[in-house]
A and B are shown apart, each in its own frame.
Chain A
């Protein structure tokens, strides 16, 4: 697993395309894909949107990072960082942003590499 994180509009997808020679058709969109499509994907964009839908459907995220790592170990997964703002007033938003953060902690722990993209510039914050 390669995990790529960063704030919104930081150029994470363009960075991934260049760094890992990906084409547009290599990406599955977390905003609309099924769980099965996630496990088949070469690269997944908008993981945080996948988490939002998962929670909206009332599903439990326990075991999700482990399943992704096991079923799709070569996945290049892109997620927004959501946690660096004022605590949202809305309980669902609070839960969504914290859950996304914790899932990314678990994915990062199992990933071979973690890249963080700021202003289009990627920094490898975990490797090997």
Chain B
């Protein structure tokens, strides 16, 4: 099953995605993997990563770091995989030296498809960065356009898609679970 979870900053989307992943793994007796895409830059970045680690602690995730080139990531077994998050991965592919640059959309699409084949269930956390109405510089707009495109592609492929608001999941798409 492929599940896409979106929401704004501080919406509770990570916690919802984690709990959904844990429930799936428990139900089917599968291992849990957390594919972390965020490079912890500076004090704020470290705090952010630390906060997510604490949130996950005791839930049984094995953490695998992957900042770019998701296609190359290997997993010990076919399990429940939580990819967090698409917005960081897309930014890394666009802006980091090891990233795919102009080939970002293709790299992320192929990467996620490869990861999905290596997973029993894949949950993707992404981000709603589209509703502030501000016109940004060209590079930021390109980033928004690429992430928006990827969100749409994965929502199309997904069995379930949810938007989390104040910790409450609103199902946007739901096939038989």
Count A-B pairs with CB separation below 8 Å.
74
- Tell me, rounded to whole Å, the shortest Cβ–Cβ distance linking A12 to chain B: 13
Residue pair A86, B140 in contact (C-beta under 8 Å): yes
Q: Does A23 contact B (CB under 8 A)?
A: no
Interface flag for B7 (CB, 8 Å): yes
Number of interface residues of B (CB under 8 A): 22
Secondary structure call for the B interface: loop
**Shortest beta-carbon distance, B4 to chain A, in Å?**
16
Contact with A along B102-144 (1 / 0, CB 8 A): 0000000000000000000000000011111110100010001
User: Which residues of A sit under 8 angstroms from B144, Cβ to Cβ?
Assistant: 86
Contacting pair B129 A5 (CB below 8 A): no
- Cα-based distance from A97 to B144 in the complex (angstroms): 19
Contacting residues, chain B, for A11 (C-beta < 8 A): none
Smallest CB–CB gap between A6 and chain B, Å? 9
Evaluate contact between A108 and B128: CB separation under 8 angstroms.
no
Q: In the complex, are the beta carbons of A84 and B166 less than 8 A apart?
A: no
Which of B9-17, B73-81, B93-101, B149-157 forms contacts with chain A? B9-17
Chain B residue numbers with a CB within 8 Å of A7 are 131
A119 proximal to B (CB < 8 A): no
* Residue positions of A touching B, CB distance < 8 A: 3, 5, 7, 81-87, 91, 94, 97-102, 104-105, 107-109, 114, 116, 125-126
Closest 10 CB pairs of A and B: A101-B10, A83-B8, A85-B132, A83-B9, A108-B166, A84-B8, A84-B131, A105-B167, A84-B128, A98-B10
Using a CB–CB cutoff of 8 Å, the interface residues on chain B facing chain A are 7-12, 44, 128-134, 136, 140, 144, 165-168, 170
A-B contact pairs, 11 of them (CB 8 A): A83-B11, A84-B9, A84-B131, A98-B10, A101-B8, A101-B11, A105-B10, A105-B166, A108-B167, A108-B168, A125-B166
- Told that A101-B11, A105-B10 touch, could you supply 5 new A-B pairs with CB distance under 8 A? A5-B166, A81-B8, A86-B129, A97-B10, A125-B168
